[in-house]
């Protein structure tokens, strides 16, 4: 899959094509922020380095006040831990759930190009991040507020990102509140109390860090949407319009072949749910579920990819698709 022009710059799972047609998991650990820290991590910089002049104020969890000077951004990557958290360190084996603001700094002017506070939902920083963001976030502790001022080489490169208004010579400024993290291959804990079978696909739990195996029966697919709990979680309820972080595997009923899997990519997937951001079968089948659940979804074309299908992935317009979804975290829309 190719990149989408999103602020966090993550790889786009096939599931997101649908936009066109507390946690019960032991792997998720929320933390409280600690007091502000004066320490900073930054590269050696010349005297003309204006990126150090960017300042951030405000408490963790609230919209930060970011002051960017009326000068052209210059100098190397600049990273500062504005508030030092006390939670687990983010590693390359985990993905971050966080709040952020981002600014395009072009010449002597700057403009806001993204804000999770504006949408009322956090973001998932997973997969292939911008080089500067990866350098800024890996090794930081949950509960931290991090300032990252990215020169073009550590941001969108010589091509910039015209889709969000970032030019090839523009500096990009991020402030990120690190809320919690999830394992890149972690599913939900617990033993399956139901595994399907009969007229429905059979789901066999995989080893630790591996997704389940889905076996399609030699029968016709159900005509309507089917939703079955395989593991019933005890975490928060998934609410319409909230933010969901999941692991999943998708299979085509007709062929029995896997067409997409977050486990295979080693990258969880985050989305707003119940708001048309994913296929309708997910919006219908996952709202009302609980965190820590594993859910089997058999989705007819009308609730899936529609009459066009996704030819590049082998999905025809008449295909029923099957997902097994592990709900590892959910955040209600409150802002």
Residues 239-289 have pLDDT tens digits of: 999 999 999 999 999 999 999 999 999 999 999 999 999 999 999 999 999
- The reply to whether 175 and 206 lie within a common domain is no
Q: What is the pLDDT of residues 292-312, one digit of tens each?
A: 999 999 999 999 999 999 999
Q: Please indicate, yes or no, if residue 228 is contained in any of the structural domains.
A: yes
Question: What SS3 string covers 185-230?
Answer: CCCCCCCCCCCECCCCCEEECCCCCCCCEEECCCCCCCCCCEEEEE
Measured CA to CA, the distance from residue 229 to residue 193 in angstroms comes to 8
- The reply to whether 211 and 296 lie within a common domain is yes
- The reply to whether 32 and 177 lie within a common domain is yes
Q: Which H/E stretch holds residue 96?
A: strand 94-106
Q: Please indicate, yes or no, if residue 195 is contained in any of the structural domains.
A: no
pLDDT at residue number 335 = 58
pLDDT at residue number 209 = 86
- The reply to whether 211 and 169 lie within a common domain is no
Give the domain extent around 294: 202-331
What average pLDDT does the chain have? 87
pLDDT at residue number 102 = 98
Judged by average pLDDT, the poorest of 5-9, 123-127, 131-135, 329-333 is: 5-9
pLDDT at residue number 130 = 96
pLDDT exceeding 90 applies to what percent of the chain? 80
pLDDT at residue number 333 = 79
Q: What is the pLDDT of residues 184-209, one digit of tens each?
A: 999 999 999 999 999 999 999 988 88
Q: What share of the chain is helix, strand, coil (3-state, %, to 5)?
A: 15, 35, 50
- The reply to whether 62 and 112 lie within a common domain is yes
Of 125, 132, 127, 170, the residue nearest 148 (C-alpha): 132
- The reply to whether 60 and 158 lie within a common domain is yes
CA of residue 98 relative to chain centroid, distance:
9
- The reply to whether 149 and 62 lie within a common domain is yes
pLDDT at residue number 73 = 86
pLDDT exceeding 70 applies to what percent of the chain? 85
pLDDT at residue number 132 = 97
Total tally of structural domains belonging to the chain: 2
Question: What confidence tier does 183 reach under pLDDT thresholds 50, 70, 90?
Answer: very high
- The reply to whether 211 and 175 lie within a common domain is no
Q: Please indicate, yes or no, if residue 189 is contained in any of the structural domains.
A: no
Measured CA to CA, the distance from residue 66 to residue 186 in angstroms comes to 35
116's torsion region: left (phi>0), alpha (psi -120 to 50) or beta?
alpha
pTM, 2 dp: 0.85
- The reply to whether 207 and 165 lie within a common domain is no
Q: What is the pLDDT of residues 2-51, one digit of tens each?
A: 222 234 333 234 344 333 233 333 333 334 344 434 333 333 333 468 99
Judged by average pLDDT, the poorest of 54-58, 90-94, 147-151, 331-335 is: 331-335
The pLDDT of 48-71, averaged and rounded, is: 93
Q: Please indicate, yes or no, if residue 68 is contained in any of the structural domains.
A: yes
CA of residue 303 relative to chain centroid, distance:
23
- The reply to whether 169 and 33 lie within a common domain is yes
Tell me the two tokens of residue 246: 């999941």
- The reply to whether 165 and 269 lie within a common domain is no
Measured CA to CA, the distance from residue 296 to residue 284 in angstroms comes to 13
Start-to-end CA span in the chain (Å): 32
Last residue of a domain, one of 153, 182, 211: 182
- The reply to whether 321 and 289 lie within a common domain is yes
């Amino acid at each position: 899959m190719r990149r989408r022009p999103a602020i966090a710059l993550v790889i786009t799972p096939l599931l997101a094509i649908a936009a066109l047609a507390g946690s019960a998991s032991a792997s998720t650990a929320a933390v409280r922020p600690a007091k502000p820290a004066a320490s900073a991590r930054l590269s050696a910089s010349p005297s003309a380095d204006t990126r150090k002049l960017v300042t951030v104020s405000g408490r963790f969890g609230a919209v930060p006040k970011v002051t960017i000077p009326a000068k052209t951004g210059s100098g190397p990557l600049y990273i500062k831990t504005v508030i030092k958290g006390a939670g687990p360190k983010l590693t390359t084996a985990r993905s971050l759930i966080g709040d952020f603001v981002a600014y395009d700094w072009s010449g002597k002017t700057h403009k806001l190009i993204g804000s999770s506070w504006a949408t009322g939902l956090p973001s998932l920083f997973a997969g292939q991040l911008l080089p500067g963001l990866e350098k800024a976030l890996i090794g930081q502790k949950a509960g931290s507020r991090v300032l990252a001022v990215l020169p073009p080489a550590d941001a969108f490169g010589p091509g910039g990102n015209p889709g969000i208004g970032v030019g090839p010579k523009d500096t990009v400024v991020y402030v990120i509140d690190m809320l919690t993290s999830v394992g890149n291959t972690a599913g939900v804990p617990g033993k399956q109390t139901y595994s399907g079978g009969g007229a429905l696909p059979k789901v066999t739990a995989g080893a630790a860090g591996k997704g389940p195996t889905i076996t399609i029966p030699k029968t016709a697919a159900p005509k309507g949407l089917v939703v079955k709990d395989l593991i019933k979680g005890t975490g928060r309820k998934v609410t319409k319009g909230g933010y969901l972080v999941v692991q999943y595997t998708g299979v085509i009923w007709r062929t029995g072949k896997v067409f997409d899997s977050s486990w295979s990519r080693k990258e969880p997937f985050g989305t707003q749910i119940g708001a048309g951001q994913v296929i309708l079968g997910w919006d219908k089948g996952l709202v009302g579920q609980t965190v820590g659940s594993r859910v089997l979804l058999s989705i007819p074309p009308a609730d899936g990819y529609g009459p066009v299908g996704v030819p590049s992935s082998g999905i025809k317009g008449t295909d029923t698709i099957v997902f097994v979804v592990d709900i590892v975290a959910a955040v209600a829309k409150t802002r």
